[in-house]
Each structure stands twice: as structure tokens, then as C-alpha cells.
Amino acid sequence: QSVLTQPPSVSAAPGQKVTISCSGSSSNLGNNHVSWYQHLPGTAPKLLIYDNDKRPSGIPDRFSGSKSGTSATLGITGLQTGDEADYYCGTWDTTMRVFGGGTKVTVL
Amino acid sequence: QVQLQESGPGLVKPSETLSLTCTVSGAFLTSYYWSWIRQPPGKGLEWIGYMYNSGTTDYNPSKYNPSLKSRVTISVDTSKSQFSLKLSSVTAADTALYYCASQHPSMVAFDYWGQGTPVTVSS
């Protein structure tokens, strides 16, 4: 049981938009920044978003992040087949790092 | 470009100590947080702990997941550009894909990850 709650899966057609939610509580998302990671099995997870809405160098602006209260959202626009992956949110919870259970994005 | 690569035995017997190493290239180990994260089969990510390497011998704080704290040690060897994980008294519940990851102090996020190494606990 993950501390942060994500939907198991989302899907959309190429070119469309998907959003992935991440729900927490006052001890984690309510008081800390959220980050988002893209993970293709067999590869190293990749940081997509940090500090709620910032993108590291090289991450396209098709990926966006937001946070409000104890919830956060990752948006992916212009969906591509290469975006098929698992996506995780993460943050601090009191004294430890925590993650969501992951959301599988399927491009129809 | 920063790269992390995990290495270590893929099979560990119950009650023994799991030992993994992460080799870092493209970055200095000082002034960074170095973490271990794992993913049991079919489950989500679980943070194991981190060590901050200040570059001095008198300040290198570490922090561990409370559920694993009594069994975990993370250490850094700057001379080898490596950091390590030791997890003692392992059981089948410790079977997982183990990742090493870095965190720059300016961000609350893991900026670089290794691709993971599978560890199975079995006799």
C-alpha cells in the first residue's frame, strides 16, 4: 500500500492529453514539493518534474506538473507512443521519501 | 552526463546480508545525497535511505526508512566514486529490483537513477 495514491492506469490516443493524479495528505504533499518520474521497464527511471512544476533540462514542455493542497497532477499533451511507460509521483513524508503506486500510461 | 550503475549478487540466502554497490560517473560524490530505492515484484517504489556526502569526515548525515532502519547501512567511498548498501538479516520480503539514485541539494527529487539490479532472497 503506497503512501501516495495514483490511478493504476490511464490511456488516450496519440496526440491527445492525459492527466495523472497523485493524492496524499498533510504530512506529505500538503507540506512538501512533488516530483514525477517516467519509468520504462528495464531502464533507469527519469525525472520529469521537480518542485511541483519545474522541468529538468531536456524534458519537453509537453510534460507539466501542478500541485494544490494535498494533491498533484502530471499532464502529458501531444501523447506519443514513446510516452507509454509507468509514471510515479514522489515527495517527503515527515522523515522519509515516499512514492505513489505508479500509473501505467497506454497510448491507444 | 551523470550515470549510475548498480552491481552486486543477484541471489542472497535468507538471514544473510545483501550488499550492493553503485558506481557513479560524470559527477563528484561530494555535496550530493545518495539514495537506494527498491521495487518488489508487482509493487511500487520503496525508499530505503540516503547518505549525504559533505566531503568532510565530520558531517555525513544519513537517513533511513523507519521500517528498515535497524537493518540498513549506506556508505560512500569517494575514492572509488561509489556508494554502497548493506541490508542485514534478509528475508523473502527483501526480494526486489534495487535502484541507486542521486539528489542534488537544490531540489527535492531524484535527478539521476541507475537502471536497477534484481536481488532474490532464497535458499
**pLDDT per position in chain B (123 positions), as tens?**
889 999 999 999 999 999 999 999 988 888 789 999 999 998 889 999 998 877 666 667 788 999 999 999 999 888 899 999 999 999 999 999 999 999 988 888 999 999 999 999 999
One-letter-per-residue 3-state SS of B70-85? HHEEEEEEHHHCEEEE
- Gap between the Cα atoms of B60 and A95, Å rounded: 17
If residue B21 lies in a helix (H) or strand (E), which one and from where to where? strand B18-25
- Residue B63, pLDDT score: 85
Mutate to test the interface with A, among B5, B47, B106, B112 (most CBs of A within 10 A): B47
CA distance B55 to chain A (A): 23
- Residue B105, pLDDT score: 83
Mutate to test the interface with A, among B110, B112, B117 (most CBs of A within 10 A): B110
- Gap between the Cα atoms of B18 and B119, Å rounded: 8
Which ranges constitute the DSSP H helices of A6-97?
none
Burial B36-53 (b: 16+ CB within 10 A, else e): bbbbeeeebbbbbbbbbb
> How confident is the prediction for chain B on average, in pLDDT?
91
Q: Is-contact B117 B101, C-beta < 8 A?
A: no
CA distance A3 to chain B (A): 10
Cβ of A43 within 8 Å of Cβ of B63? The answer is: no
Chain B contact residues (CB < 8 Å to A) = 4, 35, 37, 43-47, 50, 63, 65-66, 99, 101, 107-116
Cβ of B45 within 8 Å of Cβ of A33? The answer is: no
Q: Name the residue facing B108 among A32, A45, A95 (closest C-beta).
A: A32
User: What is the grid cell recorded at B37?
Assistant: 530505492
Distances (CA, A) of B115 to A3, A9, B48, B120: 23, 23, 16, 17
Q: Which residues in chain A land under pLDDT 50?
A: none
